[in-house]
Chains A and B, each alone.
Chain A
Amino acid sequence: MSGSGAGTSSRPELVGAPAAPRQFGRVNWLGLATLYRREVKRFLVEWPETLGGVAVSGLLFLAVFHLALEAAPQPLPGVSLVAFLIPGLIAVSIAQKSFEAAAFSILFDKLEGVIVDVLTPPLTAGERTIAYTLAGASSGLVSGAAAALVLLPFAPWPEIRLLPLVFFLAVVAVLHALFGILAALKADRWDNLAAIQTFGLAPLIYLSGAFFPTRDLPQTGRVAVLLNPTHYAVDGLRLGWLGQSELAPAGGAILLISLNLALFALVWRLFAAGYKLRA
């Protein structure tokens, strides 16, 4: 294949015509998978720091709650505070990291001007939405696994219910990845994203009932919790982990599926319109 026999020049010669465009069907699976892989790798490039940070913060929360609130009443019948907290902390890790993974990379690319690398290839808005959402969700789930691993030894072996566990794990990760994409599309500067995290995401997560039972809240608090989508995700995950939850899971599941679909459609539309991405 060298084709160097003809000339004295050592410069390699072009051989053949430029490659024909790759044929693909309705979905550019290769492109979608490539974007997904890039995004997950990006999250995991500093994995000892990232996952170590998740593990340390999960342990810290568990320790201070345990030490501060030993005397607190059992949050659910027959469930100790620590056992109650573990699925909450796993859900919180997933929610935070799904959001961050999706938001940081989109906003970084936007501000550095390299988002064109995602806009110019033959990827449709739907493919971009799927790749970013799944990548954010996967990053969150890896973080959740790290949290679960270090927290497991501190409570009796959980009474896993596989179906709700898998469903709510997926739902909490996808929901917060979509939140992250929306936040990054909306933000023009890092300050904006930080503000969304502090004033929007943090209250959603901290007041979701991940750390405390919600049944004894005063009326206004109870209403606020029921308006918080993260609450249903955390509560459902607790059902999958402990076999017990505060709410019946069906209502939460329907609400979360609808919300995820609506947000997915919104992100799709925004990508299609090039909202704050194209001039």
Chain B
Amino acid sequence: MAIAFPPEPRALGAVNWLGLWTLYVKEVRRFAKVATQTVIAPVVTTLLFLAIFSLALGGGSRQVGGVPFAEFLAPGLVMMAMVQNSFANTSSSLLISKIQGNIVDMLMPPLSPGELTLAFAAGGVTRGLAVGSAVALVMALFVPIEVQHAGFVLFHAVAASLMLSLIGILAGIWSDKFDQMAAITNFVITPLAFLSGTFYSVQKLPDFWRLVAHFDPFFYMIDGFRYGFIGHADASLVLGATVLLGADILLWILVYVWFRRGYKLKA
């Protein structure tokens, strides 16, 4: 067999599609390989939440937003699982690569900052949507779940997963240790997710806290997503969609800039 000459460098167009796709597939395989931990575990956790809230209510026939409590709660729980897992996917991927030193495998190949942003974000969104679908399917066994406005469901699922994937990238780049990541999760992500109207209608909050809720992008994710199921929203849907899109665009730009500068990634 003749010895081949070293191959010619692959010619790239404006976008390195193959590289982009390869990094995306790597990000997806990373969580799919341990699906018990990354997809099934959130399903179990979410069902436990559904159980304790239904049981604590003591079988009362309480209505929230014009539907029984469990039907009000279910979409919020799906959204919570999606955003927590999108965040976990990108943040853990970057932080572990940084700590183990194999982040160079992403920085050396001919991938532009835009391609890095897109591949990581798409990986996180994929995890979010996978978890969300799994949670919704299993939950539908216990609670009547009916999609009324598929467009709202899809838009809010993607916009929210994307936002948390991007925040996860920033957190992964910024953190130097697992403790710092745990602190971000405990003190920022979990409180925002818990206090955003998953478990109650913000209409019930005192004026001040209702105002605060309206500054919390997590609130609009859950509100709009839930509208897609129960046809009732606490806030303006146009405002919600605008906030989510605006936040996604700003975060995207910030991630892009950080990747381009190599902030905390390149010496």
The residues of A with any CB-CB pair to B shorter than 8 Å are: 46, 49, 52-53, 56-57, 60, 63-65, 67-73, 75, 81, 191, 194-195, 198-199, 202-203, 206-207, 211-213, 216-217, 221
- List residues of chain B with CB within 8 A of the CB of A75: 56, 58
Determine if B22 is an interface residue (Cβ-Cβ < 8 Å): no
Shortest Cβ distance from A214 into B: residue = B55
Contact residues of A: prevailing secondary structure: helix
Determine if B199 is an interface residue (Cβ-Cβ < 8 Å): yes
CB-CB nearest 10 A-B residue pairs: A212-B56, A212-B55, A68-B199, A67-B200, A53-B186, A198-B41, A64-B199, A206-B48, A68-B200, A211-B52
Q: A267 vs B45: C-alpha distance in the bound complex, in angstroms?
A: 28
- List residues of chain A with CB within 8 A of the CB of B204: 67, 70
CB distance B56 to A65 under 8 Å? yes
CB distance A64 to B41 under 8 Å? no
Contact residues of B: prevailing secondary structure: helix
Shortest Cβ distance from A81 into B: residue = B56
The residues of B with any CB-CB pair to A shorter than 8 Å are: 34, 36-37, 41, 44-45, 48-49, 51-53, 55-60, 62, 69, 73, 179, 182-183, 186-187, 190-191, 194-195, 198-200, 204-205
CB distance B36 to A49 under 8 Å? no
CB distance A60 to B60 under 8 Å? no
B37: contacting residue among A60, A65, A195, CB under 8 A = A195
Shortest Cβ distance from B63 into A: residue = A71
Q: A53 vs B59: C-alpha distance in the bound complex, in angstroms?
A: 32
CB distance B183 to A49 under 8 Å? yes
B59 CB, nearest partner CB in chain A, Å: 6
CB distance B34 to A191 under 8 Å? yes
- List residues of chain A with CB within 8 A of the CB of B195: 60, 63-64
- List residues of chain B with CB within 8 A of the CB of A211: 52, 55-56
Q: A49 vs B175: C-alpha distance in the bound complex, in angstroms?
A: 14
For the complex with contacts A72-B57, A75-B58, A211-B56, 8 further pairs of A-B residues with Cβ separation under 8 Å are A49-B179, A56-B187, A63-B195, A64-B199, A67-B200, A72-B60, A203-B48, A207-B52
Q: A65 vs B69: C-alpha distance in the bound complex, in angstroms?
A: 13
- List residues of chain B with CB within 8 A of the CB of A207: 48, 51-52
- List residues of chain A with CB within 8 A of the CB of B57: 69, 71-72
- List residues of chain B with CB within 8 A of the CB of A194: 37, 41
Q: A68 vs B200: C-alpha distance in the bound complex, in angstroms?
A: 5
User: Mind listing 30 A-B residue pairs with CB under 8 Å?
Assistant: A49-B179, A49-B183, A52-B186, A56-B186, A56-B190, A60-B190, A60-B194, A63-B195, A64-B194, A65-B53, A67-B205, A68-B69, A68-B199, A69-B56, A71-B57, A71-B60, A73-B58, A73-B60, A191-B36, A191-B37, A194-B41, A195-B36, A195-B37, A198-B44, A202-B44, A203-B44, A203-B48, A206-B49, A211-B56, A212-B58
